[in-house]
Amino acid sequence: MKKFSLLLSLFILAAVFCFSQNTYYEDISFSYLRSPLQPLSTEFKTYAVIANVDYAADIASQKENWQKSKEEALQQNESEKQEYKEKSLGNKLVSRALLDEEKPKDIIIGAKYFSKVYDAADVSSRIKFDGYEVSTSSDLKIEVILLGFEYLIEEDITEKTKDDVTTKEYSYKISYKHPMEIKLFDGFDEEINYSELANFKSFQTKNTKKFSSSYSLEKYWKENKISYLSKLDEKVTRDNLKTINNYLNSQFGYSTIEKNSAIAMVKPKKFEYPEYFNAYEQIFTGYTYLLDNKNDAVNYINEAITNWETALKESDKENKKARVNLKVTAVTHLNCAEAYCWLNDFQNARRHIMKIKMLKTKKYDKKVEELQNFMEDQERRYKASQAM
C-alpha cells in the first residue's frame, strides 16, 4: 500500500510538472537616444572644453619650498658635523657623558610626492559631449577644473592569531582624492551651471601590500613610494574625468545608448503560444527601430503589447495547468511594463509592475527592481524634455 501511495504521489508530481508552463527569455540588443535630465537651450549647437589646471602654480611653489627646506636641513647637518669635528677629544667625551650627545650622522631626506600637473589639452580631449559638435567658436563652454591630487599616509597594523600564536602584519593605508568641478558657460561667458560632484570630495583608501615587520615596510616604501603614488594619482584622475564625462552626458547630453532586453517567452507543451512568438517579432522590430524610425517603432511596440494584453485576459493564477498560469502571467506583465516605458506611457508601465508585485512571488523581484529603476529614470528624462 505504501509503495502504491508513493508511486501515485510521484505520478501526480510528474503530471503537474508536465502540465506547468515553462518560460524562457530571448535577448534583444538595440540602441536608443537617451534624453538629458537637464536639457539645455535648443540654441546651443556646438561646444568647447576648457581644462583649468591652475593648481600648477601651487605645486611649483610647494616644490620650491620643499627644495629650500631640504637644502637648509642638509646645511644644518653639515654645520653640526663640522662643529663636532672641531671639538677637542675632551669636549667630545664630556658632551657624551654629561649631555648624552652622539656624533652627528648624515641625514637622509626621503623623496616627496607632488601632484601631477596634467596637460590641459589632454584633459580637454577626454571630454566628449554627446549631441553637440565640438568647435573653437562654440555656443557652449565646458570648464573642467582640476584641484590637484591629495593624499594621506598612515601605518596600518593588523594582527592574526593561529594556534595561539599572534603575528602582526604592517602596511600603509593611503587615503587619496582628486577634487574636480564643472562649470558651463554660454557664448557670452555667462555661467549657466555649476557642478561640484560630492564623491570627489571623499577620500578613497588603498593599502600597500603587507609585511611582517615595520622595517620591511619602510624599506619597501622608500623604494616604491613615488611610483605607487603616481599610479594612484593617474588612476583617480582618469576615473574622475570619466565620471565627469558620464555626468555631463547624463545631465545635459543626447547619448546613443546600447541596451539589452530579455523578452519573456513561453515554451509550448500542452498548449501553443502563437501570440508570444508574434509579439516577439513585433517587439524585436520595434526596439531596433527606436533610434532611427521612432514612429514605426511605436506601432510595432503597440502591436506587441496588444498580443500580451490579450493573453493576460486568460490569466488563471491559481491553476498551474492553465495556459496562462502564474508564471506566464508574471513574465507577461514584465514584457508589458518595459514596452510601455518606450512609449512614455509610465502610468501603464507602473500598473503592470504593481500587478507583478501583487502576485507575491519573489522569483522576479530583481527583474522588477531593475525595471522600476529604469522606468523612473526614463520618466524623469521624459518630463524634463516636455518642460522645455
Please report whether residue 177 resides in a domain: yes
Whether residue 262 sits in one domain with residue 246 = no
Whether residue 63 sits in one domain with residue 122 = no
For the chain, the residue count is 388
Phi and psi at 381, nearest 5°, equal: -65, -40
Please report whether residue 362 resides in a domain: yes
Whether residue 172 sits in one domain with residue 41 = yes
Distance, CA of 263 to CA of 279 (rounded, Å): 10
Phi and psi at 4, nearest 5°, equal: -65, -45
Q: Which of 160, 126, 169, 174 is nearest to 146 (CA)?
A: 126
Whether residue 186 sits in one domain with residue 49 = yes
Distance, CA of 37 to CA of 380 (rounded, Å): 7
How do the pLDDT tens digits run along the chain, 388 residues long?
444 343 333 333 333 334 457 899 999 999 999 999 999 999 999 999 999 998 999 999 999 998 998 888 888 877 777 766 666 655 555 555 445 566 667 777 778 999 999 999 999 999 999 999 999 889 999 999 999 999 999 999 999 888 888 899 999 999 999 999 999 999 889 999 999 888 899 999 999 999 999 999 999 999 999 999 999 999 999 999 999 999 999 999 999 999 999 999 999 888 889 999 999 999 999 999 999 999 999 999 999 999 999 999 999 999 988 999 999 999 999 999 999 999 999 999 999 999 999 998 899 999 999 999 999 999 999 999 998 7
Whether residue 361 sits in one domain with residue 259 = yes
Which of these three, 236, 253, 270, is where a domain ends?
253
pTM for this one?
0.83
Distance, CA of 244 to CA of 181 (rounded, Å): 9
Q: Which of 149, 155, 348 is nearest to 229 (CA)?
A: 149
Whether residue 351 sits in one domain with residue 227 = no
Please report whether residue 292 resides in a domain: yes
Which of these three, 86, 111, 136, is where a domain ends?
111
Q: What's the pLDDT score for residue 85? A: 66
CATH code at 179? 3.30.160
Q: Which of 198, 156, 193 is nearest to 177 (CA)?
A: 198
Please report whether residue 271 resides in a domain: yes
Q: Which of 350, 353, 331 is nearest to 280 (CA)?
A: 331
Whether residue 372 sits in one domain with residue 289 = yes
Q: What's the pLDDT score for residue 218? A: 94
Identity (one letter) of the amino acid at 241? L
- Find the domain containing 320 and state its range: 21-35+255-386
For 127, the 3-state DSSP assignment is: coil
Q: What's the pLDDT score for residue 162? A: 83
Whether residue 374 sits in one domain with residue 225 = no
Please report whether residue 262 resides in a domain: yes
Whether residue 314 sits in one domain with residue 287 = yes
Q: What's the pLDDT score for residue 11? A: 35
Q: What's the pLDDT score for residue 6? A: 34
Please report whether residue 224 resides in a domain: yes
Number of domains in the chain: 3
Please report whether residue 3 resides in a domain: no
Whether residue 311 sits in one domain with residue 266 = yes
Q: List, in sequence order, every beta strand (DSSP E) within the chain.
A: 22-34, 46-52, 133-134, 140-146, 150-162, 165-177, 180-186, 191-195, 204-207, 255-267
Which of these three, 111, 136, 155, is where a domain ends?
111
Whether residue 82 sits in one domain with residue 159 = no
Report DSSP state, residue 211.
B
Q: What's the pLDDT score for residue 269? A: 80
Please report whether residue 12 resides in a domain: no
Q: Which of 307, 246, 339 is nearest to 30 (CA)?
A: 339
Beta pairing, strands 165-177 & 204-207: antiparallel
Whether residue 348 sits in one domain with residue 241 = no
